[in-house]
Structure 1
């Protein structure tokens, strides 16, 4: 997964489609996109309805934790083709 940031949603969707449907990086990219959208929506609602907000770093940590929890909940055996998802997540995020 690239480190570049592009705020254009269409570019992001096109990039995900070009990645294909297989591979750990594709799975992680799709999980990350889903988690970012979900947590940004929650943050938007918190700001609008509760007048509270999180910092960018707090959101990053919440999203990272959500991805880790999701990967662990899948319970893939290490010999499964996606068995190294958590290890790959650590490689690309540290």
Structure 2
């Protein structure tokens, strides 16, 4: 009771169910939460804070494409490298018509944020995984000088989402079967008596 009295009550954001949902991968969801709040330590932010460094050097380039400034908007997914990754991943989530621009992706996600249909859960998993691995690739290049081609990164994203789907339970339906076939997931192990519109964890 005391906690309810002293804690602050902010207005609930419209994107809550896009970021935090029952089937989310927590580390991916946390990264997307930081993106939504524009809290990632991209180089454009760091240079604004460090005025001395800013005067002594030019803005640092994106470490993925070396063609633009390292910023939230550029990394997700307007960067030439990350756009290639997104375009290889989006077809697995029936998002072929969504361009590699964060605001467009977010607009699509907000329309399906509360839906438990398998297609919408897969879409949210794919967006979060793509953002997470793009950010991790950027950091590997920054701190470890380790780079991978976009094809390899896209394969890791797809594999991660596939493993997540393999660990969930579904009720048999045409929609579920079609989506699982797209992800090359077969067998009775993924089916249960749960409502077909609501994929559930084991």
| TM-score (structure 2 length as normaliser) | 0.39
> Counterpart in 1 of 2:164?
70
Instruction: Name the CA distance, whole Å, in 1 between partners of 2:126 and 2:183.
Output: 10
Q: 125, 148, 152: which is aligned to 1:31? A: 125
What does 1:3-18 align with in structure 2 at a 5 Å threshold? 3-18=96-111
| Matching residue within 120, 140, 149 for 1:46 | 140
**Secondary structure in 1 aligned to 2:183?**
helix
Q: TM-score normalized by structure 1? A: 0.77
Cα deviation for residue 77 of structure 1 reads: 4.6
Using CA pairs under 8 Å that are at least 6 residues apart, name the structure with larger relative contact order, 1 or 2.
1
Q: Alignment RMSD, CA only?
A: 2.4
Q: Which structure dedicates a bigger proportion of its chain to helix?
A: 1
Is 1:19 paired with 2:112? yes
Q: Which residue of 2 aligns with 1:87?
A: 181
Query: Of the two, which has the highest radius of gyration?
Result: 2
Count the aligned residue pairs: 89
Secondary structure of 1:71's counterpart equals helix
